[in-house]
Amino acid sequence: MVLTPFLVVLALSCTDLSEYDQEQIRTSMNDSLIYTTESWDVELVLMQEGSTRMMIEGSYAVSYHQEEEKHTKISGPVYVQIYDSLGAVETEAWSNRAVYLETDGEFELYDSVRVQTQNDRFLYSEYLKWSQDSDRITSPYFVTIITPSDSISGRGFDGLTDLSSYTITEPRGRLIVD
């Protein structure tokens, strides 16, 4: 015989419950407010003001939805395209896995992250975060940037998605100055 959570709470409310038992019941009831969705061969499109802003593809995704938090974990290989205001591909990225934090409007790329812009600028790291609000990519970890004229590595990155402007907090490398 299976009792529904309502009947269990009703039956238990007739007896004196310890604080621990009451907390266990609350936790069990809250778990029913979480739901997940699984998808295979995923293509996620992020729209902004009626235009495609980002497209992300992955092998498998699981979305977790709670009242205050919504996020999607994507297994790779993961492929990302970021579009400019005219709808052209501005930047492409690859990684082994990603997380979309819907509540914060952020994508996080993990494990062997590689970024390539249309201007032949490349970024390599183990972690990268793209924020929808600021339209910037950041990483507190070690990054390497290669451009047609130079390369630079360092820890702590903040820059535009097309890598035309960026800051590395602790830079290391060679730079050719004309």
Range 34-174: architecture per CATH: Sandwich (2.60)
Percent of the chain surpassing pLDDT 90: 36
CATH 2.60.450.10 residue ranges in the chain? 34-174
pLDDT at position 176 is 66
In this predicted model, what pLDDT tens digit does every residue of 62-115 receive, in sequence order?
888 777 778 889 987 999 998 888 888 999 999 999 998 887 888 999 999 999
Supply the mean pLDDT for the chain. 81
How far the first Cα of the chain sits from its last, in Å, is 81
Question: Which residue is it, tokens 């082994």?
Answer: 96
The pLDDT of residue 30 is above 80: no
What 40-49 contacts at long range (C-beta under 8 Å, 24+ apart), as own/partner pairs, is 42/74, 44/72, 44/74, 44/100, 46/132, 48/132
Q: What is the pTM of this model?
A: 0.72
The pLDDT of residue 177 is above 90: no
CA distance 173 to 151: 7
The pLDDT of residue 170 is above 60: yes
In this predicted model, what pLDDT tens digit does every residue of 123-157 receive, in sequence order?
999 999 998 888 899 999 999 999 888 888 999 99
